[in-house]
Structure 1
Amino acid sequence: MTEIMRKILAMLVLVVLAVPSSFAQGAGGIDAGASELQTYIDPVGNLILVIGAIVGLIGGVRVYIKWNSGDQDTQKAVMGWMGSCVFLMVVGVVIKAFFGL
């Protein structure tokens, strides 16, 4: 019975000694992950802004084609394309502002 108690006590001591170092590694890992995430936010925000610009150009060309063909529904097309372009631009800016970049 004493051999089992010694093993349990030894395991308990090992667990108590290992817990603080694991918390320290956890905090360092979280900090490292946060800093690495911030390095990706700026390029992602720029990518969203570029996608918004491309969507705006495509939308402008499509609206111009509709307008030249005499389609009566050009105002609806303008509102749809420009709404999506503004949304993408705002998302790109908000992502950068949310992460403090």
Structure 2
Amino acid sequence: MKAPFKPCKHLNLKKYTALLLLSIIHLSSNAQDGNAGIQKANTEVRSYFQSGVQLMYAVGALVGLIGAVKVYQKWNGGDQDTSKVAAAWFGSCIFLVVVATIIKSFFGV
């Protein structure tokens, strides 16, 4: 059975090490400034936060409307668990508004 990998006989350790160092130097010379990239990404992400917060408020309003209709249907149907359903829908709306407000204050948008 043959070995799966045989090192090249014509490359000795010194040549292999020099080749490896040259390739590392070449890669590092082509690297871009990491700080500038991080700052650009930070600016890009922060530019989307205001839209995201407005979207969360819109989703909260939509969930509130849907919840109001569901609670109204249960109330008219005479269901006994109307108060639990109303509390759950109201809680989800409050949660969305609180999360949007925390995101807004945390990131200073």
With normalisation by structure 1, the TM-score equals 0.77
| Superposed counterparts of 1:14-93, under 5 Å | 15=25, 22=31, 25-93=33-101
Could you tell me how far 1:72 is from its partner in structure 2? 1.1
- Aligned CA RMSD, in angstroms, stands at 2.6
Larger Rg: 2
- The alignment-based identity, stated in percent, is 43
| Structure-2 separation of matches of 1:79 and 1:19 | 58
Could you tell me how far 1:21 is from its partner in structure 2? 8.9
Q: Which amino acid aligns with 1:82?
A: F
Structure 1: where are the runs of 5+ without partners? none
| Structure-2 separation of matches of 1:98 and 1:21 | 36
Could you tell me how far 1:97 is from its partner in structure 2? 1.2
| Higher fraction of helix | 1
Partner of 2:103: 95
With normalisation by structure 2, the TM-score equals 0.71
4+ runs deviating over 2 angstroms = 18-22
| Structure-2 separation of matches of 1:74 and 1:68 | 10
Could you tell me how far 1:48 is from its partner in structure 2? 0.9
Aligned residues: 92
The CA deviation string for residues 38-92 of structure 1, in whole angstroms up to 9 with x for no partner, is 0011101110110011000100111011111111111000111001111111111
Structure 2: where are the runs of 5+ without partners? 1-13
